[in-house]
Structure 1
Amino acid sequence: MEIRTKVLAFLQQFFNSAVLGDDQDFFAMGFVNSLFAMQLVLFVEKEFGITVDNDDLDIDNFRTIRAIVSLVERKQSVNAL
């Protein structure tokens, strides 16, 4: 399954009534609290087999679906080397 599809499916568990576009900032929409942010990081690590380093814990890496997909792709390409 594609990265975007998996991320969207995870988010929809929490934001089931919201329609999320790839560039929609769900932090700005008020959907995110600190517990959810940690759940999101853990999901990304487990689901995609990557490690989110302290340098990656920038809100801009998790603000939108597109940002999360980009982070995962970057981390996977580094791991593939």
Structure 2
Amino acid sequence: MTTDDIKDKIKAFLAQFISNLNFPEDEDLFASGLVNSLFAMQLVLFVEKEFQFKVENEDLDYDNFRTLNAITRFIERKIG
């Protein structure tokens, strides 16, 4: 699976919650107000289901999930 494939799947998921997906890939989704803290759990569940790995407690770091690029890098590390 390529980096672009991963980003496309994440963007498709984000499209359910964010009306305008034209944001920089390094924009903090939480600080910008695009998503809220409840969304974090939905995102973790999506990542586990879509990419077939368990997000461990030590993985629940804000820096792994705050931007599109961070989420992508996290997934690549876990499945790589």
For the aligned pair, the TM-score class normalised by the smaller chain equals 0.7 to 0.9
TM (normalized to structure 1)? Answer: 0.86
1:10 maps to 13
Name which of structure 1's ranges 23-32 and 3-12 shifts more when overlaid on structure 2.
23-32
Distance in structure 2 (CA, Å) of the matches to 1:47 and 1:20: 23
Q: Deviations over 1:2-32 (max 9, x none)?
A: 0000001111210113522211111111233
Unmatched tracts of structure 1, length 5 or more: none
- Over the aligned positions, Cα root-mean-square deviation in angstroms equals 1.4
Distance in structure 2 (CA, Å) of the matches to 1:19 and 1:7: 14
Percent identical among aligned pairs is 58
Aligned length: 77
Name which of structure 1's ranges 28-37 and 66-75 shifts more when overlaid on structure 2.
28-37
Unmatched tracts of structure 2, length 5 or more: none
